[in-house]
Structure 1
Amino acid sequence: MALMAVTGACLQGGDRCGDDGFCPIGHECDKVNNICFAPGHRGKCGNGIEEKGEACDDGNADNGDGCNADCTSDESCGNGVVDRARGEECDCGVDRSTPTDRLCRDALNSEFRGYCRHDCKRHCGDGELAEDEICDTKVPVNTSCVSLRYDFGRPGCMDSCADLSAAQCGVWNWRLQEPATSSLLTGVWGSGPQDAFAVGDAGTILHFNGQGWQAMQSPTTHDLWGVWGSGPRDVFAVGATGTILHYDGKDWQVTSYGSESLIGVWGRGPQDVFVVGATGTILHYDDKGWQTMDLPMVDDEYEFSGVWGKEQDVFVVGHDFVIDEDGTPRDHGKILRYDGKNWQLMNSPPSQSLHGVWGSGPQDVFAVGREGTILHYDGERWTKMTSPVSVWLHGVWGSGPKDVYAVGEDGTILHYDGEDWTKMTSPPVELSFFGVWGSGPQDVFAVGLEGATVHYDGEDWQPMTSPTLEPLSDVWGSGPNDVFAVGADKVLHYNGQEWQSKTFPPADGVHGLSSVWGSGPNDVFAVGENGKILRYNGQEWQVTTAPEPKRLYAVWGSGPNDAFVLVYDGTFLHYDGQEWQPMTPPTREPLSDIWVSGPKDLFAVSFTGAILRYDGLEWQPSLPTSEEAYSFRSVWGSGPRDVFAVGENGTILHYDGEEWRAMSSTTLADLYGVWGSGPRDVFAVGESGVLLHYDGISWLKLNSTTERRLVAGWSAGSTSFVVDNGGGIYRHTRTTPAAPATAASP
């Protein structure tokens, strides 16, 4: 502390300080300021005297009171010192202040640019794009990942706001990654998208760091078959001759337990790990070490290869060997369950060897094995699922009950969406896969022969085998395995396996089919030239002719007894379940498309920019006259207060129930079709292969992989079908529905 020098004989014996003052005995005098310092306080922050090198000194060592604890800042914004106690995120100073934060990079506080704002808050992350920011972490990036040479996605923003992040970008389909080994890989597991491990023959261990796979130093040359961990610094690998490896985040250490082959490993935590293998082996690791578990119902003929659990339940799959009466050895699938106390053999449908097991919970467990076997446990019983393949399936993993993968021989990769198993398109190489794991539905790995690692970002885009080369004009379906496409004189139908073509006798006069819509799988309409109206009843197509043989443009409805057909001359036909009746709007517009939200709500768009709406009684213009020269080609909505219209020069308008507003489409290409599965999952297609997607935030380009004109599309949940003017058909599949958006921007 410091005292002013005082006068008086009472301080006789003290040191003189100034002309008339004295300092107490032992105190030190500052002869310039006539101040006395207690022993050891001179030159110290907190003595109440602002001395050389100090910006302030308020006599204490507290922050947030106008002078910080080390007396280097008066805690005012603009002094170049970041005062966290005052809520400052940065401070690059003003005028000639010398900032202490290296991130300032010679820039001062500024309202419009640089690292720090004038109020000492960071520009980056403030929800506004500063002049020299590439992006902002709180502002959605409106640039598509296609510009970064990916196929789909919205880029993120780096923490510095100085560059875009491709972490959310993806490529279509399963893709083969750069190999890090030529050895067979048999198992894969990870703690996250930037931390995965793969193991295989001759002690091979690979690590994925988010960029690529690299070989790790392995302490063994024995074959490894399984890998699992509780975290990035607690990973186990098992293999031949009782080999057990453990990784602590730095090195792999080897231990052995017996001489039997160990094939699968899984645990509930670092002190609760299960290992399974040959001759009925099941090991458990706790704080006391590895121990063999008692399995009274199992003999040496059993071999276990997969283990997985949830909460108290642990499931083990494998097989036993049985010699038939004719001396032929056969294996039979076996499943065991551990309830925290005892193992029990479960009843399951007859099957050959089971190899992999995974579940989303104790009441939702999948097991896979030979001959394409897939079993499912619902908490009460195991049942056999319909499998699209007959090859040996080695591994199974999922991100949830409606997103499950199984891999196996001959490049087989299957996906389960909660209803059906379907075969996915794998890379065009002849490989077998033995392990599968992912950090989520948009980040899945499979490993297999010749060191192959393949990765899936969550979306497929595949050209399908089409039975025609003639232009297609429209597509609609009742579900992903019941889809109709029309064009020229043909109706195509997809049954979940292949597209088949339906042609009509010349006497029917069917040609120029332009539109298709249905109320269900057994009630489908298609329209074309010369007033032809086709209707499908689930068995056959019936051809009728409208009251006047004019060109019919579009068909849509709300049900089997409420369908509308758009006629080329701007009039309509309405079907009430009995007959087609003509309808005439008050003004004749060259209309191009219609969409119906309900029995008393129809939208129609025109080539000349008009939008009409019918309420069941009368027609009204929906879009006010505008100076903009719109030309619309298609209209669709998720409901009467969420309608999209698209057209020439990249035009996209949105109706919110009150008014139509133009949206930024990021393209000048003519758009010919719009459709979606919901208000935050909308697609538009057009000239030169343009494929756009709206996620509730903005429209983004997707890579359609074609330069053909895309003319129409249709969606059922996470699956879409798109047709082009050359007979091409494309299928877009996402393993999970589109993520909900949090903001909208027209």
Structure 2
Amino acid sequence: MVLHFDGTPAQDGSLWHRMDTPIRLPLHAIWGLDRSSLYAVGWMGTILHFDGDQWRLQRGGIIDERTERFASCEENTPLFDITGDETGRAWAVGDDGMILTLEGETWLREDSGTTINLRGITRTPNGQLYAVGGEGTVLSSSGDGHWEQMDCPFGSGFMTVLALGDEELLLAGGRYFIDQNGFRGELVRYHAGCFENVKVDKPMPRLRSLKTYKDGVLMVGDQGHLYYLKGSRLDQLQSNNRHDLMDIVPLPTGEALAVGDFGTIMTAAADFTLALAPVVDPNAEQAIDWEVMDSGTRHQLWGLWASPDDTLYACGEAGTVLRCKNPIENDVWETLPAPSELSVHCLWDAGQGGLYAGGQMGQIFRFDGDKWDKHYDLHLDITILAMWGTGPNSIYAVGDEGLILHWDGLGWQRMTSGTKSALYNIWGMDDEHILAVGDFGLILRWNGENWAEFHAGTENFLYDVWGDSLSNIFIIGLSGTLGHFDGTRWVLTPARARDDLLAIDGSSDVGPYVVGTSGNILRFEAGQWQPEASGITTGLRAVQVTSQGDVYAAGDRGVILKRK
């Protein structure tokens, strides 16, 4: 079971909505960077992934076809906890010393050096990993796949571990005592290389979870027990509940949920709904990173292009072509003559070779500084969507129905793409290294001789591609799709937004920028995608980074933005 709270009541009045999952096995832990990329682990090695739309089974739950029962195999080893880092890499632990790590979209086993059941895992701010389990087991790893067992003098069955800092841990669990006919909770602190037992005034039941809460640590355990640790003081909190509490969910509001058996969900906040979904002041001021320029048009803009001298061009509906000669000192956009009455989707400046424009009906025009001349006509109702080139005598164009054209300085020739799917954009490093992206995750790669598919592991439409080297390439697309190629493999990045991402551009100095629907803008910085406040909700369809590092975006209703 996975429950989701979004502040809206269901038909029965409940504020919690049960999500559709592909299995009926118990789930023990959940982790993710945001709602668009979540992972849940549980019984029979279950690993589920949520992409913002639906949960899918990634691993585990293998059925033996002969017995129609769960197979006795390593992949079905139960998992109990999961954690991860800011890049989306994750680690999960479970029975028999099982430790799995997520590499791209594949879960790989790491050698833990033990067969003892593991129950908890945490990561310190500096990236050190700690896993804990039965018989006082504590393992440590720097994240390189190598795990070492630490010398813990306590034989507790650790259920959970919390990193309080780079060199400080709090571990909790319990041991079964025959004379008490039950478990007795234990709390252990690790600091300055030493383990020490945290003394308590009266016996505690087995502890299940630890999470930072306000200025201390909140702890939950069996029989509804709640504790709050601040410094060396431990207080028992009133829960009015006798059900075993299994986990704690910290909330962005500073509050927390305690959850457990029989559907128990509790919070100390006076207003439950406000604790989960605080009211946002619509009048609150927000720093805006971009400013609106006066484009002089209300037509939809499809493309942006910066020439080597940083003259900016924009193009769009009804033959719209705009030019801004000196955007840094003079941000005036002038309207150039229209190549035709048809929409212009893309531009490419060949320098002395002229400015090329492609668009509807398979037509390409060339501007000599005064007027447009038709340079090529496909004589088909196929739209040219993007252009890219290495020089005046080598220009490529892509579009609907798998269209790929090449200008060799003498004429335009249609290339064999091997597909009828739309190709939305094209990018390359030279005439032997080019990528084109399109429908259903399609990536075509040109090696100087032929076009071949280059799979990235997604079926979402891909709208643009950009890179500054063959080992640093990004793709973007439908429903917040973000992917990166490091020269060896593609890795899909957890999306920061669920809106469609429509264009990407960048430079080695400032990195890439992405724009999309609803005014979304993302910037890649320090290995992460960060949202930027555009100040608008208008769809953005093009982005351009100039050689000087200035960034511009354009889109619906003639909007053109300049980054401050």
| Greater share of strand | 2
TM-score by length of 1: 0.38
Considering Cα pairs closer than 8 Å and 6+ residues apart, tell me whether 1 or 2 has the greater RCO: 2
